[in-house]
Amino acid sequence: MNRRLLVPLGLFFLFSISAKAQNPMDFFGGYSYEALGRLPQAIPARNLSGVKVAVQYNLREWLGIEGEVDGHFGSQLPARELNILVGPQICLPRRIFSPFFHVLVGYGHAYTNGIWDNSFATAIGGGVDWQVAPRVTWRVIEGDDVITRYFGGIEHNPRISTGIVLHF
């Protein structure tokens, strides 16, 4: 009876390994800069530095599902922003430079001058990855329009990021 289970179990693991090779995961980590709050009724204009981490599961060579968390912090006045976003990413894989485009949706949280607000958040943008090693690319630039609705006003906050992408 146990031998009958070994063959299907072995085939299951064999197909799981090949499926993983066809659907690799990408991990991004790097620096991010965001200009936050451009409406008078919202947070006063602040330029925030921060970090961004993202994980992408590739469904196809050109299509993936990305989840990201970014945090930005003000240096002069107390200001913080946190976004947790998820959505599709389309990539045009090339040998050296690979452009990509994504639309992410999720949750945003902002804090300034002792008050905070939560918002539905969207990031629409793209960028270019540069292959520097077999499993490592440098995200030369990623630019996004982060759309939020903090303190009753719709904001379009430009964000740029750069960092390293590891492919597994």
pTM above 0.85, yes or no: no
pLDDT by residue for the chain (168 residues), tens only, comes to: 455 655 555 555 444 444 444 558 999 999 999 987 654 444 556 788 999 999 999 999 999 999 999 999 987 667 889 999 999 999 998 889 999 999 999 999 988 778 889 999 999 999 999 999 989 999 999 999 999 988 888 889 999 999 999 998
SS3 string, the chain, reads CHHHHHHHHHHHHHHHHHHHHHCCEEEEEEEEEEEECCCCCCCCCEEEEEEEEEEEEECCCCEEEEEEEEEEECCCCCEEEEEEEEEEEEECCCCCEEEEEEEEEEEEEEEECCEEEEEEEEEEEEEEEEEEECCEEEEEEEEEEEEECHHHCCEEEEEEEEEEEEEC
**Segments making up each domain of the chain, as ranges:** 23-167
Which CATH number is associated with domain 23-167?
2.40.160.20
